[in-house]
Chain A
Amino acid sequence: MKSLPTVCPSCGGKLDVKRLHCGKCETEVEGLYPLPVLASLSQDDQEFILEFVEASGSLKEMAAILKVSYPTVRNRLDEVIAKLKADKKLRGKEKT
């Protein structure tokens, strides 16, 4: 499955959604939509969040599933939180 590009391959800037397509009726919607916060994360980060939710937010369970230690999972989660916070801050700046 193709992965959704989140950054521009040319300049590394953040990508926005310009066109959406309905696979059922072929309708196309054009506009300018920012990517949802979670979609703007890397594929790895998104997978991590999905697994985290599936594990009911239990770091212990995540550690058991991924066969790593508790602090390793905790540190990974902190990394994702830091990215989300940075993204939120950036979006806040863009709005103003």
Chain B
Amino acid sequence: MNLGHERKLTTLLFNPFVFIAGPQALGLGLAAVLTAGLIGSFSHTHFDGVLDVHLGGGAPWWFFVAEGLIDWISLSLTLWIFGKIISTTAFRAIDLWGTQALARWPMLLIGFLTLPPGFRRFPQVLLGAVTQPGAKIAIDPWDAAVFCVAALAMLPLICWVVALMYQSYSVSCNVKGGKAIGTFVAGLILAEIISKIVLYQLLIFL
């Protein structure tokens, strides 16, 4: 028998959690979060918020990794609390925490997109134009193209992460419909605020 879940490409891409959850998802998800953080440390890309990706200053590698972990913990915690409130059935915390970690895996792709040097050079040139008005700026068209393509590709990737995060919540806590969507959005906003506060506190250690 099957439970009506065929291994279609769309299911594997947007709701892999019908096939993978628990410790397995947690292991893979944490590996993705850690790797994305390490890649970020090379390109100075900060995942400084649940859904944030920003180019910033240099920092020790552990800071970039910690950012990803704080983002994951913040959202898992808020959704776990909302799940406990609205779910009418029992669910395992490891499924939600594990699938939430795995839902962040496209951040790895975002990390790769920021690796080309042109991606960092172009905004620096633009920043220079803003901070030094009147100064002659030389924009490399190749750098501009790299930056634009990467920035445009990031948008659907972030949407994909949000879709995965919702499916993780829905499958793990067995919640559906308006209540699930409403609490997910509330959880996302709350987690964004929590992650920003915690990350701000983390700056003390730099």
Contact = CB atoms under 8 A, between A and B. Distances in A.
Interface of A: 44, 47-48, 51, 66-76, 78
B48 interface: no
A48 B1 contact: yes
Given A71-B95, A72-B18, A74-B89, A66 B3 contact: yes
B1 A70 contact: no
Contacts of A51: 1
A82 to B, nearest CB: 9
Name the residue among B3, B20, B95, B174 with the largest chain A CB count within 10 angstroms.
B3
A1 B18 CA distance: 30
15 contacts: A48-B3, A66-B1, A66-B2, A66-B3, A68-B5, A69-B21, A70-B95, A71-B17, A71-B21, A71-B91, A71-B92, A71-B171, A72-B18, A74-B90, A78-B89
Interface of B: 1-3, 5, 17-22, 25, 89-92, 95, 171-172, 174
A71 to B, nearest CB: 5
Interface of A is mostly: helix
Contacts of A72: 3, 5, 17-19, 21, 171
Contacts of A66: 1-3
A44 B5 CA distance: 13
B95 A68 contact: no
Contacts of B20: 69
A48 B90 CA distance: 19
Name the residue among A67, A75, A76 with the largest chain B CB count within 10 angstroms.
A75
A48 B3 CA distance: 9
A44 B18 contact: no
B75 to A, nearest CB: 17
